[in-house]
Structure 1
Amino acid sequence: MAALSLRQKLEILADAAKYDASCASSGTQRRHSADGRGLGSTEGMGICHSYAPDGRCISLLKILLTNYCQFDCAFCINRKSSSVRRARFTVDEVVRLTLGFYRRNYIEGLFLSSGIIRSPDYTMEQLILVAKALREEHHFRGYIHLKTIPDASGDLIHQAGLYADRLSINIELPRAEALAALAPEKDARRIEGSMGELGARIAEAKEARRRFVHAPRFAPAGQSTQMIVGADPSDDRTILASAQRLYRRHALRRVYYSAFSPIPDPSPNLPSRAPPLVREHRLYQADWMLRFYGFETHDLESVMPAGHLPLAIDPKLAWALANRHLFPVDVNRADKAMLLRVPGLGPKVVGRILAARRHQSLRWADVARLAASPRKLRPWISTPDWRPTALLDREGLEALATPPRQGDLFPAASTF
C-alpha cells in the first residue's frame, strides 16, 4: 500500500476528530488557496472554532494524532473493529502543520486528540511530545488543548498540563452502566478518578500562582469533558444531573454535549437514528442556566415532566411559562437571582440593571436601553410606567416560542 501524503493524512485525521465536541467546533471553508489545494486550505474540516470565556472565537487546528485504536467502543467510528481508513501523523508532522497554519494566520492554536495505540502511557507520551516541541523548540505561544488519556500515569498528566492551556478527559456517557455496555474497555470510576486528580492539580497550581508569581502554570484554562447524547437511553434529566455533579466535584470549565451520529456497521445496541440536533442545543441552554443563571436541576423538573427538555422553546422560557405566578418581575425591587430568571435577561444586562437602579428608579425606556432584546422582556417585567396587561398574548407567545434556525444551533449562540 502506498504511503499516505501529508494532505491525505490531514483529511482523514481532521475528519476523524470532528466527533469530539469538547472544543465547541464547527467546520469552515474560509480562506482557500487559489486552486483549493494545498495545506493552506481549510476545506473539509481541520479548522474548528472554540470560544474563550470572554466570548472571543478562537480558531484551532483540530486533529487526531491517529485514528488507530485498540479500544472497541461501540459508539466510536474509530473503534478497533471499524472499517474506516486509517492514518497516523508523526510528532514532527503535527508540529509542522500547526506552525504552518499558525504562520498563515488560519489558526490560533491546536486541539489534539488520539486513538489509543500500544498503551495509554505511550499515546499520552506522543501527545506530550507534540506540545513540548511546539513550546520549547519553536516557542509557540498559541493555545493548546490536549485530550488526556484516563489511564495514563499521573506523571504524564502533570507534564501535559505544563504545556497545554486546557486538558480534557471524556466521560463519554452520563451513566456508568451505559459506558460498561457500550465501551467495555473503559471504566467510569477510573475516568472520574483521573478527572479528580487533574482537578486537584489545577487547583494546586492556581494556589501556587497566587502565592508565588513565578510558579509554573498548569492547564490554566482548566479541564473539560464530553457526553454523547442519544447513544444510550439516558434522558435529559439524567444528562443534566450528571453534568451538574461533574461541575461540582471536579470544577470543570465546560461539559460539551455531542449528539450521537450513526456510524458504519453499527452495534445492535445503538439507535438507528441520530437524535434531533435541537436536543443538543437545548442541553447547552439548560447547562448555561445551571452554570450562570442560578438554576438547579430540580428547578427544571417543571419543564421535564417526561425527563426531556422541550424542543419547541428554550428551557428558560419554558420555566417562566410554567411559573407564571412569579411574573411580572419588578426590575427596581427584584433581587439578582430573580432577575436572572427573567427570559431575555442575561448576567451582563442584570449587572447593568443592578448598577443603574442604585442611582434612580428605572423606567421602561431605561431598561430598553440596557437590554439587548427589550421586546422579549415586555411580558415578564414591570416598571413604574409599564406593566403587562396579560402575561403573554397569542402573538407574543408565538414570537417567543419560534424554534431556532439551523444556523443558531451552536453553544456560542446560547444567550437568554
Structure 2
Amino acid sequence: MADFTQKIIENIRENLRNEVDWSGSTPLHFAASVGLKGVTARLLARDTTGIERADNKGMFPIHIAASVGAIDAINSLVSTNPDCATLRDEAKGRTLLHIAIENRKCNVVKMVCKSLSFKDTLNMKDNDGNTALHLAVKIRDESIFRYLLGNKAVELNHVNGVGYTPLDLAKNIKMEYRFASRQNPTEWMIRALAHSGAHFSPHRRDERIRANKSEEKKAHGKNLSQSTESVLVASALIATLTFAAAFTMPGSYRIGSPKEGSPALGAFYGFKVFLVADIFAFFFAVAATFSLAEYGNRGTVDPLVRCVYARLSVGLFHVALKSVIIAFAFGVLVVMWGISINTIVIVGLATIVLVFYGNVPLRHDFRLLWLMYNRFGFSRRWDLYSSTSSHLDWTSRRLRSFSATLAWNLVKLLWTYILIFVLAYFAQLKQKS
C-alpha cells in the first residue's frame, strides 16, 4: 500500500499538488484526513506549500489531521514546519488542540501534552476565549481533562470571553444538572481543579445562584424518575432473592437429631457471615424499594424531595448489593469447604474484584492522587484555598482536605463489609459460650 501510494505521489504533476476541489481541499488535506502512515510525509517531501493553505471552512491540514486523530500526519506536518502547531482555523480561531478535544481524540491530546513541540499551543484561546482546558470541562471527558491538568504548563485560571475560568464552567455545569449523581465527571473535575489551585473568576456569589424555575423542576423530576427505575427494579429483585435465601439455607437442614430443622452448617463462622449479609441485603433492599416507590418516583412529590429520597435509595441499594456479594461468596465457601478449593479461590478472587469494581469516588480519588503527583509532586499541600472552598460551600474538613476525602471514601466502601464480619464474629462467640 505504501509503495503504491508513493508511486501515485511521484506521478502527480507539479501543478496538481496544490490544486483544490470544490471544498477548497488540497491533496495535503486529503492525506491528513486519511491518516495512513507515511502518506503525509511523502507528499510533504515533494511540496510543503500546502501546509498553510486553508480549505473553504478555514481548516488547515493539521486541523484535519487532529479531527481524525492522525498522529503520524500531525508529526509529519510539525516536523516539516513547526509553526503550524500554533495555526488557528479561520472560522473559529481554534488550534489543533481545540479541534482534537471537540472531536474527543484523546490520542492527539496525549501527544500534544507530552511533546515540547506543542508547548505554545496548550494555553491558546479560540475566538470565544476558550482554552483547551475550558473545552475539556465542557465536554466532560475525564481522560482528556486528566492529560491537560497533568501538564504543568497548562494554566488553570484563564478567563474566556464571558469571564469564566474552567472552574467557573465546571460549577455552572454542575448547577445545570443539580440532580445528577455525585459520581459524574464534572464532580471530579471540580475537585481536581480546586485541589490544583484553580480559582473562580471575580463574580459576585449571588450571580452564581440560579432561581428554581418550575419548568426546570418538572424536567429534572422527569429525568429523575427515568434514571431511578432500574434501581427500583433491582432493589425489589434483591429483596425477593434474599427473602428466599433466608429459608433455603446453604447445606440444607439437620434431620433426625435433637436440633432437627436447624441449619446443618450453622456452627461455622462462614455461615454466620452468610446469614448476617443476607439479612443486611434484604432490609436495605426493602428500604431502597420503599424510598423510591413512595417518594423517589412519584410525580406528585416535589422534585427536591424526590432527589433526596432518590439519592438515599441509591445509597441503600449499594449496601444491599455489597451484602449480596458477601452472602453469595460465603454461601459457596461453607458448602464447598473441603470439597473444591479451586472453586473457593475463584469465587474469592471474583468477590475481591466486585468489591472494588464500580466504586467511582474511590477511583476518582486515586486518579486525582496520580494527577496531583504528576503536576506538583509531593512538595505541595493539596488542601483547598479558603476562597475556593467558600465558593463551593465545602466548609467541612472532609471536603476541604484531600486526605480526609480519601479516608472518608475508603470508609464508605468498607463499612458494610466490616460491620457484617464484626456482627458475625459476635454471633459466633455467643454460640460458643
Q: Settle same-fold status: TM greater than 0.5.
A: no
TM-score band w.r.t. shorter chain = under 0.3
Structure having the higher Rg = 2
Structure in which a larger fraction of residues adopt strand: 1
Structure in which a larger fraction of residues adopt helix: 2
